[in-house]
Each structure stands twice: as structure tokens, then as C-alpha cells.
Amino acid sequence: MGEALKSIDTRPEERYEASQTTWDKIAESQDFKDLMATKRIFIVPAFIFFVVYYFALPVLVGYAPQFMSTRVLDVNLAYLFALSQFFVAWLIAGLYVRAANDFDKLAKDIVEKAVDAKALSGKGGQ
Amino acid sequence: MANVPLFMFLLFIAITLGITYWASKRSSGSSAYFAASRQIKGWQNGIAVAGDYMSAASFLGIAGIIAFQGYDGFLFSVGWLVAYLTVLLVIAEPLRNAGKYTMADVLAYRLKPRPVRAMASLSTLTVSTFYMIAQMVGAGALVKLLLGGYVTYNQAVTGVGILMIVYVVFGGMLATTWVQIVKAVLLMAGTILLSILVMAHFHFSFGEFFGAIGHVTYHDAKGGVVVKDFLQPGLRYKPPYGPLDLISLGLALIFGTAGLPHILVRFYTVPDAKTARNSVVWAMVLIGSFYIMTTFLGFGAATIVGPDFIKGHGGTNMSAPLLANSLAGPIFFAFISAIAFATILAVVAGLTISATTSFSHDFWTNVIHNGVERKPGEEVLVARISAFVVGAVAILIAIVLGPTANVAFLVALAFAVAASANLPVIVLSIFWRRFNTAGAVAGLGVGLLASIGLILVSPSLMAIDPPTVVGAARHLIQAKAWFPLENPGILSIPLGFIGAILGTLLSHEPTSQHKFNELLVRSNTGLGAEKAGAH
């Protein structure tokens, strides 16, 4: 097992190759389904939220310019809303990086299992 | 005073040529040439992505639009950052995990490689060339303004073209990346300095600064004095079609950035998907800070320099350099101008390498020679030759168009093609099991044609000019525009998706569905992803 693992690690040109059934097996494993579910729970709502929040800006500015010109502090609503977009984008990026640490752990397990399984079966899948 | 900008240009050129020489000494091979051996660090790639993205259109263009049209110009700034969330959440990691050098690698996984790569290569070359011509014309006009006594437009364009060829041919991706990093750092430094000087002018009082923005005074076309609140929306995007154009622009940015080939290739230069992710975050911090500061650049130019003065001294694009001049004199003016020049140079180099990578890897090796490199080093050799050709063609077109050509629409076009052709097929290829070759070819073709077609009949190219407008500044087609929006995204992006979906549903390709699991696992776990080269 150690030998085969080593050959994968030290020869970066050699890609992990596997048979169709191996890929299907990984894709249908519970580990992989968990990974996809974990990703989906974060990414889908985050994507929808930022798209809605972003397009609210041109829609409001374009169709309600008078309302958006309301003075707030030294500036107006339009400028504050535009500025808030930057901070919201950074916030979502930050939250994503945190969430992605969990994706990495789940993905690492799947990769290790796949590499181990291949090592155990010798040159299987090549 | 003209020798100061000249000296600063030469200094930047010397530094970048030094980088190119250093990069050319490093080991060769496809992975080194196209992907800098995948050894670029996360923060380095983040700065380089930011550098590739913050083109002259951002630095000079957005500052100029804000200086003349106020708040509506700032809306550009917002979209350019938010667009990176699509890159971060949807594209960067799957692309790095499953691909090798180009976006077509991901498509070719489960689809028939030759038709898909041929179309993807065509779309990449279209985006890169359009974007590049816009930059080259801008560079020529800028250098002519700054060094008018020494350099002509044609010489400036030729110079920029030759330099970019040198970076790409000899230094490959490694040199291009470091040129990008140097430029991004310079650009940030210049922008921060300029912002501080603007605030110093207003005694570091936001009340005073925004107060001044509230009544910008200038003369309109008829010579009457106008006082406008520049913080009020609607100076650029006027009814009836303005708001729709704004939404259309937003769509092109949000979906186009994640389909820009010169941004996508950057994610192959890092060791793994996690680093790719971190580099997007680095890029977002830089890009966001930069675009927030366009507030100071643009509104600063509007209030301190004034639209009247800018109009009489080179026009909108000179807003930022003129602001520097009036705040800290000619030396700072030279510094900011040199940064603008560096920006253009670095961006054209980035565009060239993405175009040549696609031509060499996708078209030459995979379409013409069925994925076999006939002898070692052929792929890199072909890339070098095509860099030369791309550079020569860009020089020629920029010279033919001339400095007064109306080229701003080319950037909009590049984003529209990226959003309408590239993004739909990348997304569907990663997420839709049923997707197949016919769908990819149809999606790329329809997206490409719809973007180009709609821009051709848009107000950017179709308008009736008064007889006072002459030469290249005249609109190509002297008639009322058929399509009322400058940005075709709102129509062309759905068309791209519909093309891809219809193409898929009207054909049958079992292998692409069978191989979906492999792509799904690879793109989501990084299993078997291309590793960093050993050194």
C-alpha cells in the first residue's frame, strides 16, 4: 500500500485515473453525497442572496431615483446602498471561506479513501 | 516636464524586462510556460488576478465616468467587485480541480473534445482580441497625450505591442504573473496616495467632501452654466432605457467575470483548489478597496479639477492623471500616468497569454492533433509563435483604428461574450448531467453570435452623428439603433443558456452522461487534480 501511495505522491504528472465503475461508486457513496449536500446548503442560498441583493441596486436606482436620493447623513441612500454592496460581498466571501473548511475535510476523506482503495487493488483502474 | 513621465515609463519597462529575463531562465515545459508550474502562492495569485482585472478601463475609465456623470459611474465599481462572488462560489475551485490550462479542459472532460475545444478556443480568442484592441487604442492615446512631443500614437501602440510580445514569448505565465503583481501594487499605492490627497484637500472632512459633490459646476454643450448634485442617480442612465441598460450591464458583469479567459487561466497557476479559493479572496480585498477608492478619484476629479478643465485637457480618460497634477504637481502626474501605462501593458500581456494558451493547447494540440504533442515542447513553441501573431495583429488593428476610434464598446462586448457564451457552458457542464456536446457547441455559438449581433445594432455602433463628428469617431452604421441597450447581456445571456439547453435536448449522447460522475467527483473533491510541478 505504501509503495503505491508513494508513486502517486512523488510523480505529479501521473493523474489519478480510475474506471467508470469506480467513479460511479464514489459519486454514489454516502460520503460524497454528504459533501454535495453540505456545499449546496451554503452555496445555493448564498448565491441567491447576493444576486438579489446586488440587482436590488440597479432596480432601485433605476426605477426609484427620487427615493434613492433621500439624504442620509452627509450622503444619500443610493450611495450608502452601493457602498454596502462591497461589505456584503466581503462578508459572503468570508463566510464562504469558513464554510469551505468543512468541504475540504469531507473532500479529503473521499480522496484518501479513493487513493487507498486504488493502492490496495494494485494497479487497478489504470 | 515631459522627461519625468518618460523616465518613469522606462523604469517600469526595465523592471518588467528584468522579471521576464529571470522567468525565462526557469525550467521550461508546458506546465511551467502555461501555468507557472502551478507554484504561485495564494496571495500572489490574488494580487495578479486583481492586476489582470483592474485594467485601464477601471483606473482611467471609471474615474472619468464618475468625474462626468457622478454616482452612475460608481455603479460600475460595485458590479466589478460583486462579480467575484460568482467566481468564488461557483467557478474557481471546480475549474482548478478538473482542468489543466484552459476552461475548455473542463468542457472536454465528458464532451467530444474536438468540436467543444474548437468553439471554446474561438470564443476565448474573440474575447481576448476585443479586450486587447480596446486596451491598445487606450494605451496609444494615453502615451500620445503624455509624451506627445516625443512619441506618436503609432509608435506608442507598436511599443506596447512589442513589449507584451516579449513578456509572453520569453517569460510565459511566470513573467506575466509577476508583471501583473508589480503593476497591481503600483496601482494600489497610487490610488491610496491619490485618495489621501483628495481627502487632505477637504481637510479630511467627509462632510466637506460630500458637500462639494452636492454642487459640481460645469458648462453644458450650449455654454450654459450647470450646477448638479453628482451623488444623485440618473446622470448617465436616463429613462426610458437607462435602468434596463444598468441591469443588463450588471448581468454581464456578474456572469461575465467568471467567464473571462484571462481570469480563469490564473486559477491554474496555484497548487490546488484551496489556494485558488484563497487567491479569489485576496483579489476581492484588493479589488473592493480599489473600487471604493474610485469614490475619491472620480468625485475628487469632478470637484477639484472640474469637468470643464478635464474636457479641455484630454477628455474623460485623463481625469485621474489631471487630478494628480492639480493635487501634487507634475511629478505625481507623471507617476500616476506611468501607473496607467503599466496597467495597460500588464493587462494586454495577461490577455495575450490566455489567448495563446487557448490557441496552442485547445486548438493546435487537441483539435488539430487529437491531443497528442508530436514532439516535446511543441505546445509551448506554438504558443510563442501565436503570441507573436496575436501581438502583431493587435498592433495592426489598433493602428488602423487610430486614436479617436470609439472602442469603449469592445470591453462591454468582451464581457457580454464571456457571460453569454463561456459561462453557460461551463456551468451546465459542471452541474447538469444531461448536458452534451451539441449543447456546448450550440451554447457557445449562440452566445457568441448573439453578443456580437446585438452590439452591432446597439447605440454603440449605430447612431446618427452630426456632420461635425468626423473620421473614426463616427458610428459605424449611420442609422437609428435597432437594439436600445449598450449592454446586450439581458438578452444574450438567456439566449446563450437557451442555445445550450436546446442543443442538449435535441440530441442524444450517452457517453457524456456516463462520464458526468467522474467530472462531478473530480471537480468537487480535487481527486486527481493537476499538481504543482517539482522544482
Task: Give me the domain span that covers residue B13.
Answer: 3-525
Report the pLDDT value the prediction gives residue B472, as an integer from 0 to 100.
67
Residue B135 belongs to domain with CATH number? 1.20.1730.10
Q: Which three cell numbers stand for residue A11?
A: 510523480
Residue B105: inside a domain: yes
Q: Which residue has the higher pLDDT, A42 or B39?
A: A42
Q: How far apart are CA B439 and CA B448, in angstroms?
A: 14
Read off the amino acid at residue A124. G
Residue B530: inside a domain: no
Q: How far apart are CA A58 and CA A50, in angstroms?
A: 13
Angle ∠(B443,B485,A60) on CA atoms, nearest 5: 100
Q: How far apart are CA B248 and CA B182, in angstroms?
A: 33
Report the pLDDT value the prediction gives residue B303, as an integer from 0 to 100.
93
Report the pLDDT value the prediction gives residue A3, as an integer from 0 to 100.
37
Residue B62: inside a domain: yes
Is A50 part of the contact surface with chain B (CB cutoff 8 Å)?
A: yes
Distances from the Cα of B327 to the Cα of B195, B215, B297, B392, angstroms = 10, 20, 11, 39
Is B521 part of the contact surface with chain A (CB cutoff 8 Å)?
A: yes
Query: Which chain A residues are closer than 8 Å to B72 by Cβ?
Result: 61
Report the pLDDT value the prediction gives residue B84, as an integer from 0 to 100.
94
* Cα B64 from chain centroid (whole Å): 17
Number of domains, chain A: 1
Nearest CA in chain A to B286: A90
Residue A114: inside a domain: yes
Residues 489-518 of B with CB under 8 A from A: 514-515, 517-518
* Per-residue pLDDT at A8 exceeds 70: no
Measure the CA dihedral B515/B124/B268/B47, to 10°: -150
- Among A16, A30, A38, A101, most B C-beta atoms within 10 A, so best to mutate, is A16
Nearest CA in chain B to A80: B231
Residue B532: inside a domain: no
Report the pLDDT value the prediction gives residue A7, as an integer from 0 to 100.
35
Statement: the pTM of the whole predicted model exceeds 0.95: no
Is A4 part of the contact surface with chain B (CB cutoff 8 Å)?
A: no
Q: How far apart are CA B58 and CA B297, in angstroms?
A: 11
Tens of pLDDT along chain B (535 residues)? 557 777 888 888 899 999 999 988 886 788 888 888 888 999 999 999 999 888 877 788 889 889 999 999 899 899 999 999 999 999 999 999 988 888 888 888 889 888 999 999 999 988 888 888 888 887 777 777 777 677 788 888 898 889 989 998 888 889 889 999 999 999 999 999 999 999 999 999 999 999 999 889 888 878 888 888 898 988 888 878 888 988 999 999 999 999 998 899 999 999 999 999 999 999 999 999 999 999 999 999 999 999 999 888 877 888 888 999 999 988 888 888 888 888 888 888 888 888 888 888 888 888 888 877 777 788 888 889 989 998 898 889 888 888 777 676 788 888 999 999 999 999 999 999 999 999 999 999 999 999 999 988 988 888 888 887 777 677 878 888 888 888 899 999 999 999 999 999 999 888 888 889 999 999 999 888 888 875 4
* Per-residue pLDDT at A4 exceeds 80: no
Question: In this complex, do B232 and A69 lie within 8 Å of one another by their Cβ atoms?
Answer: yes
Question: In this complex, do A74 and B232 lie within 8 Å of one another by their Cβ atoms?
Answer: no
Instruction: Give the model's confidence band at A2: pLDDT under 50 very low, under 70 low, under 90 confident, else very high.
Output: very low
Residue B209: inside a domain: yes
Is B250 part of the contact surface with chain A (CB cutoff 8 Å)?
A: yes
Residue B169, SS3 per DSSP: helix
Instruction: Give the model's confidence band at A57: pLDDT under 50 very low, under 70 low, under 90 confident, else very high.
Output: very high
Q: Please list the residues that pair with B225 across neighbouring strands.
A: B219
Query: Which chain B residues are closer than 8 Å to A17 by Cβ?
Result: 528
Task: Give me the domain span that covers residue A95.
Answer: 2-120
Q: Residue B219: which H helix or E strand, with range?
A: strand B216-219
Number of domains, chain B: 1
ipTM comes to 0.91
Residue B373: inside a domain: yes
Report the pLDDT value the prediction gives residue A38, as an integer from 0 to 100.
93
- B471 DSSP assignment: G
Instruction: Give the model's confidence band at A14: pLDDT under 50 very low, under 70 low, under 90 confident, else very high.
Output: low
Residue A125: inside a domain: no
Nearest CA of chain B to the CA of A35: how many Å?
8
Nearest CA in chain B to A110: B525
Mean pLDDT of A18-38: 90
